Every structure is written in structure tokens, then in C-alpha cells.
Amino acid sequence: MRYLIPSGVSLLVLSLAACSSSGPKPRGRLTATVYNSGFEFAHDTYNGISAASDGKIYYVLSSEQLDNAAQMFSFDPAAKQIRPLGDLNEACGQKGRKAVCQGKSHVNFVETGGKLYFATHIGYYSIIDGMEKPGIPPEGWEPYPGGHFLSYDLKTGKFEDLALAPNREGILTMNMDTRRGRIYGITWPTGYFLRYDMNSRELKNLGPVSREGENGKGDKYRTLCRSLAVSPLDGSVYFSNGDGDILRYRYDKDAIETVQGEDLRKDYFGQYDPSSAGHMGYNWRQTVWYPSENLIYGVHGNSGYLFRFDPRTPRIDLIERITSEPSRRSGMFDQFSYGYLGFTLGPDGRTLYYLTGGPIYEGGKRVSGKTSTAKGEAKGRENLHLVTYNIPENRYTDYGPIFFPNGDRPYYVNSIAVGKDGTVYALSRVTEQGRTRTDLISVKP
């Protein structure tokens, strides 16, 4: 099979092998297709990928460079074509400005009215006390100006700059209430909660929601929530903090409150010191709204427990651990310190897809990595698995580990999108000819 691509962009197509149509083989093996988007500076991307109504996969490749901004692309599965769509510095009106660039999009796209809505984030860091902080620019350069809420028109290909985050903060977390025309975000590193009204074009900062967030020290430090769950019923927005509280933005009051009578401090999730770095604490890692039951389904990152949250009761029910089968058997946490973000509801509206890790054994012994870290990173070699969970049938399936044809494993995968035909797409580190980049991969279960 040959891929048609624009001039100047190369594409490497590798073989794909999946489980047979007779049914999933829990201990099978998946071989991924690897694509080359032609962006040499591409670095680890978190979320930053979604399937759109036009059948294409839209994604952002991030950069940790001072002056090379993140780039947005689309992949057309029907035409087998990658198309570069734009530079996020230009989309934000920052072209030619000697300021720390718009290096990331840390959020998934939300589609409504023929447009994709998303946000930008900083990718240039300084390591201070072992933790990532906003990058200190060299002489002659301005600090990071702040993240932007953006839209991309699927027909015209034009970007629109909607709003700028305050206090030079990046936008770490975002979701949108498409019924009421409001975009919500949590900034980094402090953790301000933002809401942007599409009709009035008003941006409002409701203040910090998790002490001093990842900018704090000692008991003021808290890892920030990476997932906002929006209820289409009443416009409420639900999120968590490292202490295990569930917070609610109330549309009717334009204010934030703590949900009373339920929390995420569950024994099964483990025990954490929320003031220490290198884990998500009692935060949920990723969530989705499940329309069939008007419930929120989510995963706790470190333990890998699937749960559902009924905001009306309120009540959390733990369902089961949906980490890989090797992780379930060993009882061990996975190698990515924050847990995995690659969790989404599939196109059938009832199946959850999860890209998660697992232990690696060599000579009968588990390969160990770092025992601790002060940031979100892989603590050792990762063993990426594709897991699905059919909600109505309560059916868990591990499709097995994912490999590249050369035997390498996908690495630093914290993203997922599922095409109309069930093909799973993600963004992974890829090493070819001695060079490592992050790029698009796909696998068909």
C-alpha cells in the first residue's frame, strides 16, 4: 500500500498485524503502523489528538524548543494522506515575536459547528528542584506569553484566536460545553480555572482551584487535574484535586463548589501524600461523559481502576482495574508516573478504549525502573497494551502488547483517538536511524 502525501512530507508505512476476526486474543500481539509527519522537532505530546466528523484524525505534534512551535496535522485514512495544517505560533498571532513559543497542545479537540476547539500550552521548561517549571528564556527573549483558546474551521482551514490565558500561564486542561457555548480550562503551573463564553467573548478567571498547583512548594504543591468532565444536562463541569476532592463548576451560579458526600480518597486507589510530586495523588487521570447513562466514566491513573461517577447522587462506583493483564496479575503500578491519558469512548458509543502499560519480564524477572520521580515521566521501559471495556456487557478485553515491526515498543503514549472503522491512533516516541521523534501511529484490534 502506498500513501499519498504532500511535497516535503515523508511517510513511512510499516506492516500491521492484529488479532484475527474470530475474537480478541488477550495474550496476542499487535504491530503498529508508524507515520512520518515530517516535523523533526516533535517531542512528547499529551492528548492532542481526536477523530473528527469528516473521518479524519487531527493531531498536534509538540515541541520542547524555545523557538520551534507545535504543529497541527490531519491524517485522512481514506486517502492515506497526512496534511500539515498550521504552526501554533502563527495561529496565536505570535509569529516573528521573540518570545517562548506555543510549544504544546495538551488537550483533545472538541468539535461543534464545523470547527475544532482546543488550547495551547508551553513546551519549553527549566528543571528546578527536579521539577518542570516554565522555561527561563535566554537574554533577548520574552517569557512565555500564555496559552490561547483556539478554533480551527474544518472547511476553510482557518484558525481563530479566541482568548489568552492570564499571568503567562499555559492551558493544561480544557473541555467545552457545546450546548451553551462555553470553553473551560485549567492553567499551568498555578491552576487557575478559566471559562470563556463564546457569545459574549468574555474570559473569566475564577482563581486557583488546587492550592498553588504545580507552582507551589511544600504543602502548597498539588498536581493539577488533567481532565474536565462536562455535563450536557445542566452545564456543570466536574474535576478533581490531588487531595481527592471532586469539584464542580456550576453554570447557574458561575462559581465553583466542592461536591459534598463523595470523594476520590479510595483505599483501592492507593495512599498518597498530595503535597509530593511525581504522581497524580487522588486526582482522576482521564474521564468521559457517557450519554446512555448520563454518568461520568473515568480512570484513576496510578492504580488503573475504572470507575463511574453519578453527579446526581453523588456516588462513585469502582468497576474493575482496566490495566493490562500482566499488570492485573502482578498487582504493580505501571511505569508512567502519572498513569495514562489514552482513555476514550469509541465511535460505537459504548466501548471504552485504553492505552495502558504493563510490566516487562526478562529471564522470568520483572524489569524495574526508577522507584520515584518528581515529574510526569516513564520510570522505565514501557509495555503498551490496548485494552477495551464494553460498558453494557461489562466486558474487559486486553488485545495484547503493541510493537513496532522492528521489535521496539511504543514509548510515552498518553493520547488516543479511534477512527470510524475502529482503528486506534496515538502519538508515540519513534526511533529510526538513530533519531527519536514523536509521531502518529495506528493499530487495528
pLDDT exceeds cutoff 80 at 268 = yes
Determine the 3-state secondary structure of 90 from DSSP: helix
pLDDT exceeds cutoff 70 at 11 = no
Q: How far apart are CA 432 and CA 435, in angstroms?
A: 5
pLDDT grade, residue 12 (50/70/90)? Answer: very low
Q: How far apart are CA 340 and CA 353, in angstroms?
A: 12
Q: How far apart are CA 434 and CA 430, in angstroms?
A: 10
Kindly state the cell numbers that stand for 334: 505501571
The closest alpha carbon to 246, from 225, 232, 267, belongs to: 225
In sign, the C-alpha dihedral spanning 205, 210, 215, 218 is positive
In sign, the C-alpha dihedral spanning 261, 266, 267, 271 is negative
Total residue length of the chain:
445
pTM more than 0.85: yes
Average pLDDT over residues 2-27: 39
pLDDT exceeds cutoff 70 at 35 = yes
Q: Which domains does the chain have, with CATH numbers?
A: 30-443 (2.120.10.80)
Per-residue buried b or exposed e for 287-320, using 16+ beta carbons within 10 Å of the residue's own CB: bbbbeeeebbbbbbbbbbbbbbbebeeeebeebe
Spell out the alpha helix ranges (H) of 299-411: 325-330
Q: How far apart are CA 68 and CA 74, in angstroms?
A: 19
Spell out the residues 6+ positions from residue 396 whose beta carbon is closer than 8 angstroms to its own.
Answer: 320, 322, 387, 388, 389
* Greater pLDDT, 334 or 157: 157
pLDDT exceeds cutoff 60 at 4 = no
pLDDT exceeds cutoff 80 at 1 = no
pLDDT exceeds cutoff 70 at 60 = yes
On whether the CB atoms of residues 117 and 171 are closer than 8 A, the answer is no
> Which residue's C-alpha cell is 498536534?
60
pLDDT value at position 27?
A: 54
On whether the CB atoms of residues 342 and 367 are closer than 8 A, the answer is no
pLDDT value at position 365?
A: 87
